[in-house]
Amino acid sequence: MPKNTDKLGAAMGRNPRSAGKGFASSFAEKPVVETVRLAIDLDKDFHRRLKIAAAEHGISQRDLVLNAIQKAYPELRNK
């Protein structure tokens, strides 16, 4: 087995804070923010490495990608 199997398993696991909560109750806790969905096709191996990196940093894949984009393009940050 690859040595990153545990990290990948952790990255794919559910957040223990949301255990026992349904979708509606966990969704209701989040602030309402106007957003737009963006889909990006990723190579399977890249996606696996992204999950591992996010788990190692203790953040979501979405936040890891957004942080990287904002670091590369500071002019895109909220004013």
pLDDT(3) > 50: yes
Nearest-angstrom CA–CA distance, 8 and 29: 27
Structural domain total, the chain: 1
**Chain-centre distance of CA 39, in angstroms?**
13
Nearest-angstrom CA–CA distance, 73 and 70: 5
Q: What is the pLDDT of residues 14-60, one digit of tens each?
A: 444 545 555 555 555 667 778 899 999 999 999 999 999 999 999 99
Q: Check if the beta carbon of residue 57 is closer than 8 Å to that of residue 50.
A: no
Domain of residue 64: give its range. Answer: 5-76
Q: Pinpoint the alpha helices (H) of the chain.
A: 5-12, 23-28, 44-57, 61-72
Instruction: Note if the pTM is more than 0.75.
Output: no
